[in-house]
Amino acid sequence: MAVKANDLGKVSLSTVAVILRLLFHYAEGHGLSAEGIARDIKGPSIRLTSHIPHGPKWSEVTRLLRSTTANEPVAIRARAILLLLCRYALRGGEIVRLELNDFDWQNHIFTVRRSKKGGLQQFPLQPDVASALTNYIKDVRPRSSSKHVFLSFHPPFAAMHPGSVYEIVSLRLKRLNIRPKHLGPHSLRHACATELLRQGAFPRDIADFLGHRTCQTVGVYAKFSIRSLRAISNLDLTARL
C-alpha cells in the first residue's frame, strides 16, 4: 500500500528527503541518474523550537557544567542533575521520577519514565554521568527508604519536587549571567537538541532521543532505543567540557 505524503509528519518527510538526496547523489556520481535531481529534493523545514523554548548556547552549557564542581552536597547533587539534563535532554519531571533500580550499572543503561505520552525509554549511561551519579548516591544522598534517586536534603528526605529542579537550573544560569528565553530544565533540553542537530544528527533520531514517540512496554521499544540511540547519545557533546 502506498504511503501518502500527508500521512507522514514533517520529521519523517525530512528524513525521507535526506535519504533520497543521498541516493541520487550516489546515482549521479556513477552516471546512473541525470544531474540536479538530488539538489532539487527538498524536505520540509523542521522547527525544533515548536515544542521547547529557546535555550542557551552550547558554550554556555559547558560553562554551566564547569561551574558546578564544588564538593558540597548541594553542588554534587546539582552536577548529577545538570549532566542528565544536558546530555540526555530529560524533562524536570523525568528527573524527579528516576528510581535507584532504573540504573543498570553492570550494563551501563538507565531507564526513563517519559512525561509526554507515557512509556519507558532506555539510554546508554555515559561515563561522566555515571561518575557524577555514583558520587551523589554513595557520598551525599540522604539515607532514606525512598526509592527515588534525587531527594531533598531536609526531613523526611522525600523525592525532589520538579520546582526544585527548575531552581537548580535557573539560579545557576542567572549566577553566570546566562539569559536564554527560558531558564528552567527545558532550556537545557533545547540546547542539547540544537547541538545534536548542529553535529549532524537526523531530525528523526533527535525526535526519538527527545522521547517524541510512544512505547507500550520496555521490552520492544527499549531494544530499539539502545540500538538507535547509542550513536546519537555518543555524539561528542563533551568535546568542549
**Cα–Cα distance, 216 to 64 (Å, whole number):** 36
Higher pLDDT, 241 or 154: 154
Which string of b and e fits 121-144 if b means at least 16 CB within 10 Å? bbbbbbeebbebbebbbeebbeee
Please give the Cα distance from 141 to 152 (Å, whole number).
9
On whether the CB atoms of residues 124 and 104 are closer than 8 A, the answer is no
pLDDT band at 29 (very low <50, low <70, confident <90, very high): confident
What is the rounded CA–CA span in Å between residue 174 and residue 119? 34
Distance between alpha carbon 173 and the CA centroid of its chain, in Å? Answer: 19
**In the beta sheet, which residues pair with residue 111?**
122
Enumerate residues 6+ apart whose C-beta is below 8 A from 80.
129, 132, 133, 135, 136, 150
- The counts of H helices and E strands in the chain are 10, 3
Return the pLDDT at 9: 59
C-alpha cell at 227: 540500538
Q: How confident is the model at residue 45 (pLDDT cuts 50, 70, 90)?
A: low
pLDDT at 4 over 70: no
Q: Kindly report the average pLDDT of the chain as a whole number.
A: 79
What are the backbone dihedrals phi and psi of residue 42, each rounded to the nearest 5 degrees, phi first? -120, 130
111: left (phi over 0), alpha (psi -120 to 50) or beta: beta
DSSP 102: G
The Cα–Cα gap between 229 and 70 comes to: 31
Residues facing 151 on adjacent strands: 159
Enumerate domains of the chain plus CATH numbers: 7-46 (no CATH), 58-233 (1.10.443.10)
Task: Report which of residues 30 and 140 the model is more confident about.
Answer: 140
pLDDT the model gives residue 33: 80
Highest mean pLDDT among 17-21, 30-34, 128-132: 128-132
pLDDT of residue 205: 75
